[in-house]
Amino acid sequence: MADISFVRTESHPDLPPPKSETGILAWLRQNLFSGWLNTLLTLSAIYLLYKILPPFLDWAIFSADLSGKTYEDCTSGGACWAMIRVRFDQFMYGFYPEAERWRVNLGFLLLFGTGIPLLIEGVPGKKYLAIFVFLLFPPIAFVLFYGGLGLPVVDTAQWGGLMLTMVLATVTIIVSLPLGIVFALGRRSNMPIVRMVCICFIELWRGVPLITVLFMGSVMLPLFLPPGTNFDKILRTLIVMAFFAAAYMAEVVRGGLQAIPKGQFEAAQAMGLSYWKLMGLIVLPQALKIVIPGIVNTFIGLFKDTTLVLVIGLFDFLSIIQAATTHKNWLGTSTEGYVFAACIYFIFCFGMSRYRITLERRLDTGHRN
């Protein structure tokens, strides 16, 4: 009987993967047409895109008008971007005098020049940058934007456009962060009255819509002050918005405080640290680091909420665009105005939310309690 046993000595050559598993076709089949339901979804998605995208692109790009002085000059049937071009400066600066606009530019250049490095990892000298942004910059910005020290005064009634939006958002956030920390600490305090006051404050502001708060700032606040005091509408808005944001900030910070394990408090107390040293040196540095994404989130919400000042008659970025589209020269350009505004807001908010996501990844050290 012949020996039919066989031992293979060399390995079988690697075969290429089957055709149905590689390449575009396989990807299409796995991701888009893996079953009848998926195929149906894909087809309806493609149909939807076909219905939306080509007409929109045609309107926004291919048959759009870029030049003209009034809406009548836009004859091609597409978007009338001429409106944006003609009004662009107003959208950015409001009614700020043209000769003084360099001050606004300089102010925001300073803010971005020092603020953005503060947000990037690994930049040296962050301590000094932070001191500059939070302590030195506010008075400098006030002098630059409003006037004084030899610069002519620009009344706040002339502020407007994107500049006003940015002023509202940044001032509110810079004021509300320390306020929010104070209220968060108060809410977790051992003193019953302090705790009650803080809880009432936070829940009261969080329970009502921002519009009623703004109404309160514009019609009620003047009544609360001594008769005859007349103070600036933008300042009033800033005050109530800062309180409103502080309540939300307090809840964000409280989340961070609650995430710090009890052992940290106890260890610090065992070392004999006083309350403020315990909070300032041990708890807050850890808690604030955890809640940075939450703070950025609050800031995004705040940035979007600044649009509500339209209701009380301030000309922020959205409001000034809205006003432009109802001007007699540009009647009928409301869609263009809104799309432009939407793009600008989207760029800011989406940028910030991407930053928040990278932060979350960076701060996620993998520790879970």
Residues that bind other proteins (CB under 8 A): 31-32, 34, 38, 41-42, 45-46, 48-49, 190-194, 197, 204, 206-212, 215-216, 219-220, 222-227, 300, 304-305, 307-308, 310-311, 318, 322, 325, 334-335, 338, 341-342, 345-346, 349-350, 353
Q: Which two tokens stand for residue 111?
A: 């803010």
C-beta closer to other proteins: residue 148 or 209: 209
C-beta closer to other proteins: residue 42 or 329: 42
C-beta closer to other proteins: residue 106 or 323: 323
C-beta closer to other proteins: residue 30 or 105: 30
Smallest separation (angstroms) from other proteins to the CB of 338: 4
Smallest separation (angstroms) from other proteins to the CB of 91: 14
Smallest separation (angstroms) from other proteins to the CB of 83: 14
- Contacts for 248 with CB less than 8 Å, ≥ 6 apart: 176, 180, 205, 206, 298, 301
Smallest separation (angstroms) from other proteins to the CB of 318: 6
Smallest separation (angstroms) from other proteins to the CB of 315: 14
C-beta closer to other proteins: residue 192 or 366: 192
Smallest separation (angstroms) from other proteins to the CB of 106: 28
Smallest separation (angstroms) from other proteins to the CB of 300: 8
C-beta closer to other proteins: residue 129 or 298: 298
Closest CA to 331 of 30, 83, 91, 40: 83
C-beta closer to other proteins: residue 82 or 318: 318
C-beta closer to other proteins: residue 227 or 366: 227
Smallest separation (angstroms) from other proteins to the CB of 99: 31
Q: Are 234 and 159 in contact (CB under 8 A)?
A: yes
